[in-house]
Amino acid sequence: MAKPAAPVKKPRATATRSKPVRSVTPEVPVDDAKIARTFLMPRTLVKTAETAVLRTGGLPGGYKSMAALVNGALARELERLAGEFNDGEPFPPNGAEFRVGRPLG
């Protein structure tokens, strides 16, 4: 008795975009290595952010990943802080170890 043929997967149809999606991730120097960080965040904030990425990832001005959203938001906030507290100049890189533990203040 002959074995039935295995089902063949059909390639998914992809929608074409009329406008290219612009990158909203801040420009990062090529030699700027990525490092991992772990943060505790409120569950509702994380779930809302995930939904925003899922719903806007393919739209102009949207983010395609959580990392891109976090990087973009952090870059904007650092720019705001520099404008408010550092005469508009970017903060210099921290050359020492960053304090961990209980928050300052």
What residues contact residue 90 under an 8 Å CB cut-off, 6+ apart? 78, 79, 82
Average pLDDT value for residue range 34-45? 92
- From the number of C-beta atoms within 10 Å of its C-beta (0-12, 13-18, 19+), residue 22 rates as exposed
Q: Where are the beta strands (DSSP E) in 9-103?
A: none
Question: What residue type is assigned to position 41 of the chain?
Answer: M
pLDDT digit string, tens, across residues 47-104: 999 999 999 999 999 999 999 999 999 999 999 999 999 999 999 988 888 777 777 6
Q: Is the pTM of this model over 0.75?
A: no
- Residue of 65, 68, 92, 66 lying closest to 78 (CA atoms): 92
- Residue 24 structure tokens: 């909203």
Domain map (residue ranges) of the chain: 43-85
